[in-house]
Amino acid sequence: MLNSVHVSDRVIGEFIRTILSDDINKNTLIVLSSDHLAMPNAASKMLDSSPKKRNLLMYFMPGFQS
């Protein structure tokens, strides 16, 4: 389960970096949002014990430079 979280994080990061490095970024608003922390799974106890557990809402405005 934790490997799935790690891979998803990496793939999403690469996708956002690709958009931000392209000219399309000048006219694109990227919204990254979570609607739940995690479905019940083998890592639930560890994930639930994190003091930083929270949903995410992040905006990358058109023309954003990282």
What whole-number distance in Å separates Cα of residue 38 and Cα of residue 44?
A: 7
pLDDT in tens for each of the 66 residues of the chain?
A: 778 878 988 999 999 999 999 888 889 999 999 877 667 888 778 777 777 667 789 999 998 876
| Residue 3 pLDDT | 85
| Residue 10 pLDDT | 95
Q: ∠50-43-8 over CA atoms, to 5°? A: 90
Per the document, the length of the chain is 66
Q: Where are the domains of the chain?
A: 2-60
The pTM (predicted TM-score) of the whole model is 0.69
